[in-house]
Amino acid sequence: MTVITRFAPSPTGYLHIGGARTALFNWLYAKANNGKFLLRIEDTDRERSTQNAVQAIFEGLDWLGITPDEEPTFQFQRADRHREVVEEMISKGTAFKCYTSQEELAERREQGEAKRADAKIAAKEGNEDLASNLRAEADKLLAPYRSPYRDGKTPTDPNASYVVRLRAPDEGRIEFTDDVQGHVGVSAGQIDDLILLRTDGTPTYMIAVVVDDHDMGVTQVIRGDDHLGNTYRQIPIYQAMGWDLPKYAHVPLIHGPDGKKLSKRHGALGVEAYRDMGYLPEGMNNYLLRLGWSHGDDEIIPQDKAIEWFNTAGLGKAPGRLDFEKMKSVNAHYMAQADDNRLCDLLFSRDGFDQLSQVVKSRIKTSMSEIKNRAATIEELEMQTNFLLDLRPIEITGKLKKKMSLDAMERLSKLTIRFKDLSEWNNLALTAAITDFCADEEVGMGMIGPTLRAALTGGSPAPDLGLVLEWLGRDESLSRIDDQLNKVSA
């Protein structure tokens, strides 16, 4: 049997980080078992589904390298097939036409809530018998709906509009063994006669998911544990059609750093936001993988190892907590390993960096093998390379201005003479020149280093001075120093 998994997002917004993790788990499971990973766009909610959201899902998955093995399926386009199955269920007696109106259902809920409120009042007044009776009546009215039409009741008006409902099991339990949750189940009485077709004949999510998973041959469903309740309601549809159930793995959702359900205030952003912040897809995949799955104490898990090791046994039962510092730490590992030219291309495509001169680009390319180790993201890489841009004339302000005293500038002038006499302009020669100068002048590095650094970088983050001078080049370095010396002489 070929293992087939699927990712089935609703195109009502961006591809959020939880959805990306679900897609990754399904993709890895398929690859680990030499199976197929499929993508299904669940666009049956026509009012909320948008083409922009569909495109965001495609782009997010493409960026992460999570590629389906077949063309995506669009659920709405399969509505005829969904209706066909419902008609078959009607003929078998496992589904039926229900003429109960929305107004009747609303009235039922209102009566139940009213009786529940009256029960509280009766209990406060000490009339426990009345309170108990009212609670029982409220529970009956607010229980999962069982339609009177399930047992053959005929409508008053045969031309009245109707929905088609599943005839939920009358007794027993609905249960299954989940790869994460273990053996789970609910009593049949907790399942309602759920709607399969609306009054306009459009299929609902519940029937569409089951039919699509069956027709696509899905053998393993990995999804968030917020879908566990849906699974209990979908199993009777499988049973009604005599179809085999796929295996299920309901994964705990991602929580915020405070342990609460992830929300926008925690940074629950779309995948494209992390891309724009400068995370690498391999770093994001590694982080998401460890956010709910483990392989011993391994933290850095490259893709080939992830495919080799992935199984549902490694999925945890506790919610993963979003940790941005950990995310950066993992990404920093992949930044250090990344190809220099690739990082340059990513950097040069960012706003403000796309119009750099070839001279500046050359400086950055020269520095990349070293400077990438100082940045956890492309965004940080941008800050780390700022001193290599065309900054002249550099304006020294704030606390740095204290580094530019007359004595300091005099020492800088003497050091510049030595720089001009150097036959080789590289880190080794430049560092030696600075060290020899300090020795000859009988001053510590603290008496010249901060002044030289301010003149060269204006306070921007930068590595050792020898490297800064080498990457800027002879002409640019001396020009930046002369700019500051000329201010003093002026």
Annotated binding residues for ATP, written as ranges, equal 264
The full 3-state SS of 357-408, as one line of letters, equals: CHHHHHHHHHHHHHHHHHCCCHHHHHHHCHHHCCCCCCCCCHHHHHHHCHHH
CA 113 → CA 106, 108, 127, 143, 147, distances in Å? 11, 9, 19, 11, 19
DSSP-derived pairing of the beta strands 182-187 and 195-197? unpaired
Hey, is 255 helix, strand or coil?
strand
Task: In whole angstroms, give the CA distance from residue 163 to residue 306.
Answer: 46
Query: What are the distances in angstroms from CA 40 to CA 31, 67, 285, 386?
Result: 18, 12, 21, 43
- SS3 (DSSP) at 203: strand
Beta strands in 8-105 (DSSP E): 36-41, 73-74, 95-98
| C-alpha closest to that of 142 among 107, 168, 97, 174 | 107
Residue 156: count other Cβ atoms within 10 Å of its Cβ: 7
Hunting for tokens 């669940």 — which residue is that? Answer: 42
Residue 51 to residues 39, 47, 55, 128: CA-CA distances in angstroms? Answer: 16, 12, 6, 56
Closest CA to 306 of 291, 323, 294, 292: 294
Q: How do 173-178 and 163-166 pair as beta strands?
A: unpaired
Structure tokens at 216: 């696509």
What is the rounded distance in angstroms from the CA atom of residue 390 to the CA atom of residue 343? 20
What are the distances in angstroms from CA 118 to CA 108, 138, 323, 380?
15, 10, 47, 61
Q: Which residues are annotated as a binding site?
A: 264
Write down the residue that tokens 């030595």 correspond to: 418
Distance CA 222, CA 18 (A): 12
